[in-house]
Chain A
Amino acid sequence: MVNFIEVARRAETGPMIAEEDFDMKKIAMKLRELRKELDIKFDPNEPVNTDLTLADDLWDLGLRFFLETGIYCVNTRRLMLFEENEVKHALKNVRDRLEIGEGKDRRVLYPRGIEDSTPPIIFGGPFNCDVTEEVFVPMNEAYAREEIIDVLFLPGYLKKMYGLEIRPTSGLSPQTVILYAKWTREALSRAGRPGMPVVAHALMGMHEIGVSNEEWGLRKTDPRAIVMLPELKIDDVSLVRLGYYIATGPPIYIAFTPLVGGFAGDPVTVAIVSVAEHIAAVMLNGDIIHLGPQHIKYKSQTNIHSLWVASRVKQAVSKNSKMIHTTSHTTAGRPGSKQFAYEFAALEIAVVTAGSHVSGPRPADLKYDNHNSPLMARLFGEIAHAAAKIKLETANEIVLELYKKYKDKLDFQVSPVGKPFEELYDLDTLQPKPEHLKEYEEVKRELEELGLEL
Chain B
Amino acid sequence: MVDKEELFKKMQEAIYNYDKDLAVKLAKEAIEAGIDPLEAIEKGFAVAIRELGEKFDRMEIFLPELIMGADAMKAAVDILKEEIVRRGQKVEKKGVVVIGTVEGDIHDIGKTIVIAMLQSAGFDVYDLGKDVPIPRFLQAAEEVNADIIAASALLTTTMMKQRDLIEYLKSQGKRDKYFVIVGGAPCSQKWADEIGADGYARDAIEAVKLCERLMEQKKKKGA
Interface residues of A (CB under 8 A from B): 24, 28-29, 32, 74, 130, 157, 159, 165-169, 203-204, 229-230, 235, 259-263, 265-266, 296-297, 299, 305, 365-366, 412-413
Q: Across the two chains, which residue of chain A brings its CB closest to B57? A: A297
In the assembled complex, the Cα of A203 lies from the Cα of B158 at a distance in Å of 11
> Are A259 and B109 in contact (CB-based, < 8 A)?
yes
Q: Which residues of B contact A230 (CB under 8 A)?
A: 109
B207 at the interface (CB under 8 A from A): no
In the assembled complex, the Cα of A171 lies from the Cα of B109 at a distance in Å of 30
In the assembled complex, the Cα of A29 lies from the Cα of B57 at a distance in Å of 21
A177 vs chain B, min Cβ distance (A): 12
Q: Across the two chains, which residue of chain B brings its CB closest to A74? A: B106
Q: Which residues of A contact B57 (CB under 8 A)?
A: 297
Asked whether A296 and B63 contact (CB < 8 A) given A229-B106, A229-B107, A235-B106, the answer is yes
B128 at the interface (CB under 8 A from A): no
In the assembled complex, the Cα of A245 lies from the Cα of B82 at a distance in Å of 56
B26 vs chain A, min Cβ distance (A): 23
Asked whether A297 and B59 contact (CB < 8 A) given A24-B64, A167-B104, A235-B106, the answer is yes
In the assembled complex, the Cα of A24 lies from the Cα of B68 at a distance in Å of 9
Which of A28, A169, A305 meets B104, CB within 8 Å? A169
In the assembled complex, the Cα of A230 lies from the Cα of B59 at a distance in Å of 18
> Are A262 and B156 in contact (CB-based, < 8 A)?
no
Which of B107, B109, B202 meets A296, CB within 8 Å? B109
> Are B156 and A265 in contact (CB-based, < 8 A)?
no
> Are B59 and A159 in contact (CB-based, < 8 A)?
no
Asked whether A263 and B64 contact (CB < 8 A) given A203-B155, A296-B113, A297-B59, the answer is yes
Asked whether A168 and B62 contact (CB < 8 A) given A230-B109, A259-B109, the answer is no
Interface residues of B in 13-69 (CB under 8 A from A): 56-57, 59, 62-64, 67-68
> Are A261 and B104 in contact (CB-based, < 8 A)?
no
Which of A24, A203, A204, A299 meets B185, CB within 8 Å? A299
> Are B109 and A262 in contact (CB-based, < 8 A)?
yes
B75 at the interface (CB under 8 A from A): no
Which of A130, A261, A412 meets B63, CB within 8 Å? A261
B160 at the interface (CB under 8 A from A): yes
B172 at the interface (CB under 8 A from A): no
- Give 8 A-B pairs besides A299-B185, A305-B59 with Cβ atoms closer than 8 angstroms: A24-B64, A28-B63, A130-B156, A166-B157, A203-B156, A235-B106, A263-B64, A296-B113
A253 vs chain B, min Cβ distance (A): 19
Asked whether A24 and B67 contact (CB < 8 A) given A167-B157, A167-B160, the answer is yes
B201 vs chain A, min Cβ distance (A): 13
In the assembled complex, the Cα of A160 lies from the Cα of B174 at a distance in Å of 29
Q: Mark B143-165, 1 if CB is under 8 A from A, else 0.
A: 00000000000011110100000
B126 vs chain A, min Cβ distance (A): 15
Most buried by A among B56, B113, B157, B160: B157
In the assembled complex, the Cα of A235 lies from the Cα of B64 at a distance in Å of 22
Q: Which residues of B contact A260 (CB under 8 A)?
A: 62
Asked whether A261 and B157 contact (CB < 8 A) given A167-B104, A169-B104, A296-B109, the answer is no
In the assembled complex, the Cα of A32 lies from the Cα of B157 at a distance in Å of 35
Q: Across the two chains, which residue of chain A brings its CB closest to B130? A: A74
In the assembled complex, the Cα of A160 lies from the Cα of B189 at a distance in Å of 20
Q: Which 7 A-B pairs have the closest CB atoms?
A: A28-B64, A265-B62, A165-B160, A261-B62, A262-B63, A168-B157, A262-B109
20 A-B pairs in the complex with CB atoms less than 8 angstroms apart? A24-B64, A28-B63, A28-B64, A32-B64, A74-B106, A157-B156, A159-B157, A165-B160, A167-B158, A168-B104, A169-B104, A203-B157, A229-B106, A230-B109, A262-B63, A266-B62, A297-B57, A299-B185, A305-B59, A413-B202
Q: Which residues of A contact B64 (CB under 8 A)?
A: 24, 28-29, 32, 263, 265
Q: Across the two chains, which residue of chain B brings its CB closest to A166? A: B157
Q: Which residues of A contact B59 (CB under 8 A)?
A: 261, 297, 305
In the assembled complex, the Cα of A266 lies from the Cα of B67 at a distance in Å of 15
Q: Which residues of B contact A261 (CB under 8 A)?
A: 56, 59, 62-63
